[in-house]
Amino acid sequence: MSAYPQAGQLVLVPFGRREVVGVIVSVHADSDLPLEKLKPAIAVRAQLSPLSPQWLALCVFAADYYQRPLGEVAVPGLPKNLRALKTTSLDKAIKKLTANTAVHDATPVAMPILNLEQRQAVDTMANSVGFAPMLLHGVTGSGKTEVYLQAAAKVLEDKAAAQVLILVPEINLTPQLEANVRERFPGVLVATLHSGLAEGERMQHWLAAHLGRARIILGTRLAILASLPHLKLIIVDEEHDTSYKQQEGLRYSARDLAVWRAHQLAIPVVLGSATPSLESWYHAQSGRYLKLELRERAVKDAVLPKIGLIDLERRAPRELMTEGVSATLITALQQRLERGEQSLLFLNRRGYAPVINCDACGWISNCQRCSAFLVLHKLDHRLRCHHCGYEQRIPKSCPDCGNVDLQPLGRGTQRIEEGLQTIFPQARIMRIDADSTRRKGSAQEAFDAVHRGEVDILIGTQMVAKGHDFRNLTLVGVLNPDTALFSHDYRASERLFAQLMQVAGRAGRVAQKEGGSVSEVLIQTRFPQHPLFAAIRAHDYQTFAGELLQERQQANFPPFIYQALLRAEAKELKTALAFLQQATTCVDTDGITINDPIPMTMTRVANMERAQLLVECTSRPALQAFLKQWTAALRALKTRVRWSLEVDPVDL
Ligand code: ADP
Ligand code: ZN
Ligand code: ZN
């Protein structure tokens, strides 16, 4: 007897000339549609338990909230192999998972003794009933991971078959966490979900989660849309991180969906960070989220690093600069080398130099297709645009005047690496950035080498700033944070603060060794008086966040208002602007603040001119209602302008 199809089941359906996979969203016994308009499904995957109604509801919510079609939410998260519905491989995979009858033993091993604040946090998480959003505000190195693991242990031991989802912002952070989790729970099947998995692995892990076999699921933002039938706890580590926001297609925030999903399932959700997003901080202040604090470093006698500023503007005594590194910082590096300790230099700019120019005529390496410079990548003898991917050989002479003496301007990580190698020829220097880690697995190898102590000085972009627990690092140098101090984006200072606190947090994670250095952070800046630095030096997130929130309230910025951003791109800027202008009049905008259409800060990318229109409202439901109408009206315009809408935009 063939079972009647159910909502949540996967089906193979004809679509034009192709066969595609679909999810049954609902089942109707009778329909008004004429029969000849309906096509039969080719196959129903009945051996796979249906996706749950809660999962479908999550997809419906996300599609509605972010104003995208349901299929775009529900289908991409399904493993490709599953989409192709190759029966044999699916059957095999299911069999392999379910035949594995080994009893899942959730008993953790070797649980370190928690300190008082950690204990309180774990107890609160484990004892909470129903929907319980919590903000775990713990300074860097305060042992948040330990809190997650022990809270997970409690949930797994209390609730038969319970699943725990732990999200991290970056793929690079999954191996370290995965190793911790596997070591702690040797009897538990752990699944990982991120974009770095091969198709076969992805299918295995997704199935393990969907069939409830995997009890702990680690993943990046996409994991929030996974099918997890027994989900009982969600943890979002480094919740402030903007990587949780997808920047194309379905522009969702995995952190926000995590809170929604927890609410829907009536389970606890933990947002953890040393530098929470202002949105989450605001909710914690207002009592909507329960605030849990870890004020001290967890390792005995480890203390937060001393933070110093190196004033690059002061006239006398002037800092002597060598290869972009100040004399003070060089001395500090020298000390670490002598003592066998590690240092980290942070510079959020990859490549050798951000631009090259000709002194004779003023030519400079602009990208022909973007309002951006071509970045010098000296090692590959290329100039590259980081925005459109255009690249070319480094010209031998100036394209305008023929001068052969073209000069790099400014410094990227490659140039710093080269410079440091001349300053410290004996030092083992390693650079970690998107360029040095293109090969699959190479980032992990690099981080492993640092952990094994095979590196004296690590140079890196934001890739090295987050999450990593470097045990022998006593010095962090920040080379050039200044550009972010005066950005147009009101979120820039929040972000810079978080970034500096995070990178500073990599130092001093163990107690100072006898004869060892006091761990310190040295920031090179031309604006030492900037209030942001005072807050950083005091490790004072709380005061800084309070001030920023006040500013936001006065200026009517989020979280005091809700926003959506309509972006448009066209061959000519005026076309994009005209479209946005038209967009302001195509529906009733009562109660909604419609700002003027403006060119984006980086106007041109890949020969397209880009403009944006910000809409705001003090009520989220009112904004949602408006957006629904608006997107329908915009689609009906059938414009040739490419447009996209971002709800709760993070980049303005
Ligand atoms: P965070 O995520 O808050 O930055 P981590 O979780 O990386 O901090 O913890 C920092 C270090 O403290 C880790 O090496 C961890 O093993 C250690 N640690 C955590 N909790 C304890 C504890 N209760 N006792 C001793 N060491 C701890
Ligand atoms: Zn020239
Ligand atoms: Zn370009």
Return the DSSP state at 95. Answer: H
Minimal-distance CA residue to ligand 1 atom 20: 143
Q: Is 620 helix (H, G, I), strand (E, B) or coil?
A: helix
Asked whether 150 lines ligand 1 (CB < 6 A), one says no
**Residue 100: per-residue pLDDT:** 65
Judged by its nearest atom, the ligand closest to the C-alpha of residue 295 is 1
The pLDDT mean for the chain works out to 92
Q: Is 191 helix (H, G, I), strand (E, B) or coil?
A: strand
Minimal-distance CA residue to ligand 1 atom 25: 299
**Residue 171: per-residue pLDDT:** 87
* Residue pLDDT, tens place only, 419-455: 999 999 999 999 999 999 999 889 999 999 999 999 9
Residue 285: band (very low, low, confident or very high) from pLDDT cuts 50, 70, 90? very high
pTM, to two decimals: 0.94
331-350: average pLDDT: 96
| pLDDT of 16 higher than 90 | no
Q: Choose the weakest-confidence range: 64-68, 110-114, 252-256, 279-283.
A: 110-114
**Residue 12: per-residue pLDDT:** 81
Minimal-distance CA residue to ligand 1 atom 13: 143
Q: Does residue 282 contact residue 271 with C-beta atoms inside 8 Å? A: no
**In a mutational test of the pocket of ligand 1, which residue from 147, 292, 300, 469 has the highest number of ligand atoms less than 8 Å from its CB?**
469
Q: Does residue 258 contact residue 167 with C-beta atoms inside 8 Å? A: yes
Asked whether 144 lines ligand 1 (CB < 6 A), one says yes
Q: Choose the weakest-confidence range: 6-20, 57-71, 106-120, 244-258.
A: 6-20
Extended strands (E) in 257-354: 268-273, 290-294, 306-311, 321-322, 325-326, 342-346
**Residue 102: per-residue pLDDT:** 60
Q: How many CA atoms lie within 13 A of 324 on its CB side?
A: 23
Percent residues over pLDDT 90 in the chain: 75
Q: Does residue 232 contact residue 159 with C-beta atoms inside 8 Å? A: yes
Query: What are residue 118's phi and psi, to 5 degrees?
Result: -60, -45
166-178: average pLDDT: 91
Of 394, 440, 409, 416, the closest CA to residue 350 belongs to 416
| Cβ atoms < 10 Å from Cβ of 89 | 14
Asked whether 177 lines ligand 1 (CB < 6 A), one says no
| pLDDT of 468 higher than 90 | no
Tell me, what amino acid is at 183?
A: E
Roughly how many angstroms between the first and final C-alpha of the chain, as a whole number? 57
**Residue 83: per-residue pLDDT:** 63
Q: How far apart are CA 610 and CA 487, in angstroms?
A: 19
**Residue 86: per-residue pLDDT:** 62
Judged by its nearest atom, the ligand closest to the C-alpha of residue 372 is 3
**Residue 1: per-residue pLDDT:** 37
Query: What are residue 541's phi and psi, to 5 degrees?
Result: -65, -45
Q: What is the distance in A from the centroid of ligand 3 to the CA of 607?
A: 8
**Residue 416: per-residue pLDDT:** 97
Return the DSSP state at 242. Answer: G
Asked whether 511 lines ligand 1 (CB < 6 A), one says no
| pLDDT of 473 higher than 90 | yes
Residue 399, token pair as written in the block: 């394209």
Q: Which is more confident, 440 or 181?
A: 181
Q: Are strands 355-358 and 163-167 parallel, antiparallel or unpaired?
A: unpaired
Q: Does residue 459 contact residue 430 with C-beta atoms inside 8 Å? A: yes
Q: Does residue 47 contact residue 94 with C-beta atoms inside 8 Å? A: yes
Asked whether 146 lines ligand 1 (CB < 6 A), one says yes
**Residue 90: per-residue pLDDT:** 75
Residue 509: band (very low, low, confident or very high) from pLDDT cuts 50, 70, 90? confident
* Residue pLDDT, tens place only, 155-170: 998 877 899 999 999 8
308-314: average pLDDT: 92
Q: Are strands 290-294 and 132-138 parallel, antiparallel or unpaired?
A: parallel
Q: What is the distance in A from the centroid of ligand 1 to the CA of 150?
A: 12
Minimal-distance CA residue to ligand 1 atom 2: 144
Nearest atom in ligand 1 to the alpha carbon of residue 505 is 4
CA angle 482, 486, 488 (to 5 degrees): 140
Q: 600: part of which helix (H) or strand (E)? A: strand 598-605
C-alpha pair distances (Å), 486 with each of 410, 482, 492: 18, 8, 8
